[in-house]
Amino acid sequence: MSEISTSQTVPTALEPSVEHSGPTATPTTTEADAPQPGPTPTLPEHTLNPEPTPVPHTPNSIEVALQDVEPQNPLTEKFTEAEWKALKEFRSNLSETFKEAFPEQENAGSMPYNMWGITIDPLAPDEDARVSVVLMKFLRARNINAQEAKDMLISTLRWRKSFNVEEAMKEQFPEDVFGKLGKIYGKDNDGCPIAYNLYGANKDLHAVFDDVQRFLRWRVAFMEESIALLDFETIDQMVQIHDYEGVGMSSRTPASKNAASEASSIFQGHYPEFLAKKFFVNVPSFLTWIFWIFKPLLSSATVAKMSVVGSGPKAIGPALLPLIPADQLPKRYGGDADGF
């Protein structure tokens, strides 16, 4: 069909008919009575400017990459390619992991679980970058092996339930027994909080260790209190300083040995990759062998973060000050802060 010009007049039924009498055309009605021409019909717009046929869009590689983007934070941005690959495999099995951890719970595979202040949703673990940071701890503790990390997470979830960590955190422990044994004070150069374990702060060892399970509940609660200071966005580790000032030969009782062994097992098995650095300070010469006793129980990565330091501010300061600002380190350890 040839294109219709919009300047042409298109006859309609409302136009007057015209009779011819000779060479001159005379209208059959007067000009006043003659019906007026109707409006020129409007042609469909697509007839004048036809739309092109849509062509299916194929996403390019950049668009595909953007579709695969998930929430990030400064900690996840440091993950290696191998770590991301293992993490995605680990997360894809999270629903089954929760089912295995809580077989008695019918909806375990779909129910979110809160651990260390982070809600882990097994059906949507990639919606919060902090969840990736938590899961990466288990992967790193197991050499980036997704299956072994899964086994460790299952063990940890079961332990937290049987130990009843939430109740331990709410428990009121005797201030005169445990009040001086643990302190959280200051931050290192990277912003990691510093937790102090003061083993000689209470001379009544019977009160501290006679009830080993109570000591362990206190120790776990103190650890959880320290972890509460981590945001899992910029900081996910802490510095620990174990101070043995005041500890004597009589301190190594069967109960204290049992408590130390169980505590070490708990933290090694259920609190992965929380340690930035650990210092043993004011350690009596006759107790330095303790480090070597526990060394075989610890991973090589953990041992690499541990240092046995001397006694007194002049010996401790040079070891700690490169890591901790002077205004964040108590004077008793060679810093400028008043401390605790």
74-94 per-position pLDDT tens digit = 999 999 999 999 999 999 999
- pLDDT exceeding 90 applies to what percent of the chain? 67
Question: Do residues 183 and 292 both lie within one domain?
Answer: yes
Question: Do residues 227 and 251 both lie within one domain?
Answer: yes
pLDDT in tens, 180-199: 999 999 999 999 999 999 99
pLDDT in tens, 197-209: 999 999 998 999 9
Please, are residues 231 and 190 in contact by the beta-carbon 8 Å criterion?
no
Q: Note the pLDDT of residue 102.
A: 97
Q: Note the pLDDT of residue 69.
A: 81
Of 112, 147, 163, the one marking the end of a domain is 163
Give the range among 46-55, 70-79, 161-170 with minimum mean pLDDT: 46-55
SS3 assignment, position 68: coil
Q: Which residue has the tokens 């083993």?
A: 199
pLDDT in tens, 207-221: 999 999 999 999 999
Question: What integer best gives the mean pLDDT of the chain?
Answer: 84
pLDDT tier for residue 20 given thresholds of 50, 70 and 90: very low
Q: Is residue 243 part of a domain?
A: yes
Q: Note the pLDDT of residue 301.
A: 74
Report which listed range, 60-69, 181-190, 255-264, is most confident: 181-190
Question: Do residues 231 and 317 both lie within one domain?
Answer: yes
Whether pLDDT at 149 is above 50: yes
Q: Note the pLDDT of residue 249.
A: 74
Q: Note the pLDDT of residue 56.
A: 58
Span 30-56, mean pLDDT? 49
Give how many domains the chain has, as a whole number: 2
pLDDT tier for residue 247 given thresholds of 50, 70 and 90: confident
pLDDT tier for residue 291 given thresholds of 50, 70 and 90: low
Alpha helices by DSSP H, 61-199 = 61-67, 81-92, 94-101, 129-141, 146-163, 165-170, 175-178
Question: Do residues 139 and 254 both lie within one domain?
Answer: no
Pairing between β-strand 118-120 and β-strand 182-187 as defined by DSSP bridges: unpaired
Query: Structural domain of residue 105, as residue ranges?
Result: 76-163
Whether pLDDT at 10 is above 90: no
Q: Return d(Cα 265, Cα 297) in angstroms, integer.
A: 8
* pTM over cut 0.85: no
Terminal alpha carbon distance of the chain: 95
Q: Is residue 150 part of a domain?
A: yes
- The more confident residue out of 36 and 312 is 312
Question: Do residues 291 and 145 both lie within one domain?
Answer: no
Question: Do residues 119 and 192 both lie within one domain?
Answer: no
Q: Note the pLDDT of residue 252.
A: 79
Question: Do residues 203 and 118 both lie within one domain?
Answer: no
Whether pLDDT at 259 is above 60: yes
